[in-house]
Amino acid sequence: MRNKFFIIGISILVLTTIVYILYDVGLVFMVILTLILLVGYANTIQQKHAILRNFPVLGYFRYLFEMIAPEIQQYFIERTTDGKPFSRNQRTIVYQRAKNIDATTPFGTQLDINQSNYEGIKHSIFPTVVNEELPRVLVGGPDCKQPYSASLLNISAMSFGSLSENAIVALNKGALKGNFYHNTGEGGLTQFHQQGGDVTWQIGTGYFGCRNANGGFDKDKFTEKANLPEVKMIEIKLSQGAKPGHGGVLPASKNTEEIAKIRGVEPHTTILSPPGHSAFSDTKGLIEFVAQLRLLSNGKPIGFKLCIGKTSEFEAICQEMITQNCYPDFITVDGAEGGTGAAPLEFSDGVGMPFEPALIFVNKTLVFFGIRDRIRVICSGKIISGYSILRAVALGADICNSARGFMFSLGCIQALRCNTNTCPTGVATQDRMLMKGLVVADKYERVYHFHKNTLHAANELLAAAGKNSFAEVDINIFMRGDEFSHLSDLYFPDNLKSVTRY
């Protein structure tokens, strides 16, 4: 291809030069062609890109199409029920509820519900009245001196750094208006989280915001921030569903001077949080750390977040709680399908237990050890609709957190550029020009409406199931398609032996 490129290119250039000499036309074309040939020659002698070396100019189209492939997939190929991690239908319902407009759909379901993987709610022919009051859950065990009344739906952990300043401010202002909490993520508590909304302060392995000069835990810095009135709960991050066993990742392109100062790190460098905590290294140390944070925060609710891996380790944690007679006020369970701004693909695709079995396991283990009534279970894993909230409660959750749902409410279009600092909607970027596209005054209202309308939808589903409160919800209100696979024979009269004919 290189030989053909130069033979054809030089031949055309010679002809163009002759035409220009004879007729004084074609100078612009001749200059452009010369530049193309020079670029082509440079590509043939470089040694980094095989495509450009073999296809000196046409090779650029490969990189162009690769760059816009997500947009082509999203806008021209995927159907309304396609799209990963969230389908177009799922994204649309968030946009509609965030904008507080009609969230109905016409002409029936687009799903194939005659499949074994179908899930549905067993509605009652005697539905209850829809409760207009949004549900709340009290968090705080026997040792908690400052229990907190949390909304059933809240903003999951997303750090300033991963998200933009405007996104964090809009989320917190929305939380203030809707009376629900905003998890800071492991990036630490910043001024942008302090817009009046309730905050759950997450303490990760990097101890950002309560970090000493050596990168370890600083109890004095922790005590100062933990006792701020807006900090309602404190969450120790053990692991995250999208990258369990791997520390947080902040790409260098997003690590600005401001973020580096907040976190106590070098700016413009990729920040990799340690995989594990330095303040403790075993189950005994974890429970002692819970007790220490409770003491330093004057009795605020203390919990930890994890993605389940080795089940025996969680069982050991439960046993240690009983041994020390010290219990966290809540445990946040993150599924392996959880989201993140940046993670190695192997960790996102191949490490950790999925949300459903993890939540069931945690709930049943706490029941087995007789400590379930002391601890609230918070779940995080693709919570995006009223249906997903009801399903999570049925599997054992007391409270639900959503990250990507609230990102969609801010305008996220699932561009899949969170780790590149080029988020086109200004949500997951530190680029000031892109950030300006996210207008806080408009977006915080959308955060508020998404929360309110989604919980109202959950209340409607609860009423349709004939239940009066979420405390009555269990897995028995759900049906699966595989329950019907053995019923096909009952469609035939010969098998209806219990029917009496008159």
Structure tokens at 43: 């590509």
CA dist., res. 324 & res. 368, Å (int): 18
Query: Which CA distances in Å does 5 have to 30, 39, 57, 80, 283?
Result: 16, 12, 9, 43, 66
Pure H helices in 278-354: 283-296, 311-324, 345-350
Structure tokens at 47: 């040694």
CA dist., res. 86 & res. 383, Å (int): 11
Q: Which of 314, 336, 341, 335 is nearest to 401 (CA)?
A: 335
Structure tokens at 437: 């596209």
Pure H helices in 140-180: 165-178
CA dist., res. 413 & res. 390, Å (int): 25
Judge contact between 380 and 464, C-beta under 8 A: no
88-98 helix and 440-464 helix, angle to the nearest 10 degrees:
110
Can the peptide bond before residue 85 be classed as cis, meaning omega within 30 degrees of 0?
A: yes
Residue 492 confidence (pLDDT): 47
Residue 486 confidence (pLDDT): 54
pLDDT in tens, the chain (502 residues): 677 877 787 888 888 888 878 887 888 888 888 888 888 888 888 888 888 888 888 888 887 887 777 777 777 777 777 777 888 888 889 999 999 998 777 777 887 787 777 888 999 999 999 999 999 999 999 999 999 999 999 999 999 988 999 999 999 999 999 999 999 998 889 999 999 999 999 999 999 989 998 889 999 999 999 999 999 999 999 988 777 777 777 788 888 888 888 887 888 888 778 888 999 999 999 999 999 999 999 999 999 999 999 999 999 999 999 999 999 999 999 988 777 777 777 777 778 888 899 999 999 999 999 999 999 999 998 899 999 999 999 999 999 999 999 999 999 888 888 888 888 899 999 889 999 999 999 999 999 999 999 999 999 999 999 999 999 999 888 888 776 655 544 444 454 455 444 4
Q: Which of 433, 458, 355, 446 is nearest to 407 (CA)?
A: 446
Going by C-beta distance under 8 Å and a sequence separation of 6 or more, which residues neighbour residue 429? 164, 254, 421, 422, 423, 435
Query: Which CA distances in Å does 351 have to 76, 214, 310?
Result: 32, 30, 11
Query: Which CA distances in Å does 115 have to 475, 479, 484, 485, 488?
Result: 19, 12, 9, 9, 13
Give the domains, in start order, of the chain with CATH numbers: 2-67 (no CATH), 136-480 (3.20.20.70)
Residues, the chain:
502
pTM assigned to the model: 0.84
Per-residue burial over 129-150, b = 16 or more CB atoms within 10 Å of its CB, e = otherwise: eebeebbebebbbebbeebbeb
Judge contact between 446 and 174, C-beta under 8 A: yes
Element (H, E) at 250: strand 249-250
